[in-house]
Amino acid sequence: MDKSGDKNRRHFIKNAVTGAAALSLGGVLPGFSAKSYASILGANDKINVAMMGVNARGLALAGNFSLQPGCVVTYICDVDSRAADKCIAQVEKNQSRRPKSEPDFRKALEYKDVDALVVAAPDHWHAPAAILASKAGKHVYLEKPCSHNPAEGELLLAAANKYKNVIQMGNQRRSWPNIVAAIKELHGGAIGRPYFAKTWYTNNRPSIGKGKETAVPSWLNFDLWQGPAPRTAYKDNILHYNWHWFWHWGTGEALNNGTHMVDIARWGLGVDYPTKVTSSGGRYRYQDDWQTPDTQVISLEFGNKGAITWEGRSCNGRNVEGASVGVIFYGENGSLQIDGTNGYVIYDLNNKLVKEVKNDVKVDARSLTNPSQALDALHINNFFDAIKKGTSLNSDILSGHQSTLLVQLGNIAQRTGTALDIDPKNGHILNNSAAMQYWRRTYQKGWEPTI
């Protein structure tokens, strides 16, 4: 973030703490007033948080947020009443205060005892929810990917610029101490000039079968779950995790897990937008309703600065370089590898081990919900420090968008079967009308995100 942005953000935070940041914004929900938009920190400078989407990853995040001394989870927002009840019980146990249930997160944005919204709903809700929260004068902790499609990412950047709130993307490895140290070594010349980064993720995911249309369960508000996405019939193999593999709501393994490693690769190489993107792969393992690739290789070129590849294998868990997930940088004088843990190794050009920094905190890279609670708490507290002190974010929304866009472009190349030429100044696709059809999505009428 540039200095002027930091200055504006600090000014916003200062006003928020004193209760003077009543933003004159209209139209998020009927009945909103300027006063209701003010973000006023709670007693003892505790940050009041509403959690959106708490079935899986959101449940783990709610538990983690409620364990932090600088935080109070005040509202649990979920379209699944069972998930909400389970999360409320866990949070109450952690913080000795029972959060309220508010199934529609938009209603929670009206309340003055909400300073920040944590978004862990499905991908199609990420940017629209963050934009609504920004309009309401709330800060946002936004799980990756920050958007479902590139146009939403740019809307999100515009919202952050307009409302000057704090938005942190949940690519938590930006705050893991040994990962930070590894990138510092890389930038300090540990392997000379790095010019190629290989990233990967592997798993043994089962078939999702063929879904059947059925009645919406009594515990589910399916209309609100779909939100900005055009309406479809309810099927019995969509919720709660399989939506990842449908383009209508999800973004495939590339953005589900690829975002994390591609972000580290982009950070390490010091690149922003690519010049060319290609992708190959498909749904090979099973014949079912799964639409996104279960096997995919994305290649990202950055002119003469270097290249990044991402290999995703959802249905064959054979490790790469001894790890189920990771990134390895190749440079003039050697290589540096970061796997799914909080550790790294450096090799010279003759494959001799030069340095090993071992993981000191247990991490389960294949956990669907909570691979690294203790380390992720560092990312959460960086978010809190940005709100209270104006501390720089480890993953501001511009950086989050840039990394998300890389894998979005990979998916667009995959879906069109074409090589994409990209403007390195802004990441836009050049001279490819077929690819541009995937730059944005169609929305359910009345649910379109606006700033």
Please say whether the beta carbons of 110 and 216 come within 8 A: no
Say what the pLDDT of residue 18 is. Answer: 31
Task: Output 32 or 319, whichever has higher pLDDT.
Answer: 319
The pLDDT of 20-32, averaged and rounded, is 28
Q: What is the C-alpha separation between 179 and 156, in angstroms, rounded?
A: 27
Q: What pLDDT digit, counting tens, does each position of 216-233 carry? A: 999 999 999 999 999 999
Q: Is residue 193 part of a domain?
A: yes
Q: Are residues 129 and 183 in the same domain?
A: no
Same domain, 282 and 299: yes
Count structural domains, the chain.
Answer: 2
Please give the average per-residue pLDDT across 356-375, as a whole number.
71
Which residues make beta-bridge pairs with 308? Answer: 197, 300
- How far apart CA 80 and CA 108 sit, in angstroms, is 16
Q: Do 169 and 188 fall within a single domain?
A: no
CATH number at residue 421: 3.30.360.10
Q: Is the pLDDT of residue 365 over 90?
A: no
Of 173, 199, 222, which residue constitutes the final position of a domain?
Answer: 173
Please report the pLDDT score of residue 11 as a whole number: 41
The rounded distance, in Å, linking the Cα atoms of 118 and 141 is: 5
Residue 43 has pLDDT above 70, yes or no: no
Average pLDDT score over the chain: 90
pLDDT at 33 over 50: no
User: Domain limits at 310?
Assistant: 176-209+234-366+397-436
> pLDDT tens, 74-97?
999 999 999 999 999 999 999 999
103/139 same-domain check:
yes
Share of the chain above pLDDT 90, in %: 86
Average pLDDT estimate for 187-198:
98
Question: Do 191 and 110 reside in the same domain of the chain?
Answer: no
Over residues 138-149, mean pLDDT:
98
If asked whether residues 102 and 251 sit together in one domain, one would say: no
Token pair of 229 as six digits: 């996405």
DSSP 8-state code for residue 237: T
Segment 60-67 shows an average pLDDT of 96
In a domain, 225, yes or no: no
Does residue 7 register a pLDDT over 70?
no
pLDDT at 371: 56
Pair (108, 184) in one structural domain: no
In terms of domains, do 169 and 278 share one? no
* Range of weakest confidence among 297-301, 358-362, 406-410: 358-362
pLDDT value of position 366: 58
pLDDT of amino acid 367: 56
> Final residue of a domain: which of 151, 173, 195?
173
Enter the tokens of residue 190. 């540990």
Average pLDDT, integer, range 304-320: 98
Which runs of consecutive H residues, i.e. helices, occur in 96-221? Answer: 105-108, 123-135, 150-163, 177-187
The verdict on residue 228 lying in a domain is: no
Whether 376 maps to a domain, the answer reads no
When pLDDT is cut at 50, 70 and 90, the band that residue 374 belongs to is confident
Q: Beta partners for 47?
A: 71
Residue 441 lies in a domain: no
For residues 201-211, average pLDDT? 98
DSSP β-bridge partners for residue 126: none
Which of 295, 325, 302, 324 lies closest to 414, judged by CA?
Answer: 295
Sort 95 into a burial class: Cβ within 10 Å, 0-12 / 13-18 / 19+: buried
- Provide the CB-side half-sphere exposure for 169 (13 A, CA): 27
168 and 192 inside one domain? no
Q: Are residues 17 and 68 located together in one domain of the fold? A: yes
What pLDDT shows up at residue 29? Answer: 32
The residue among 154, 173, 192 that closes a domain is 173
Q: pTM for the complete prediction? A: 0.89
Is 418:432 a contact under the CB 8 Å cutoff? Answer: yes
In this structure, the answer to whether residues 160 and 247 fall within a common structural domain is: no
Residues 169 and 180 both lie in one domain = no
pLDDT score for 360: 73
392 within a domain of the structure (yes/no): no
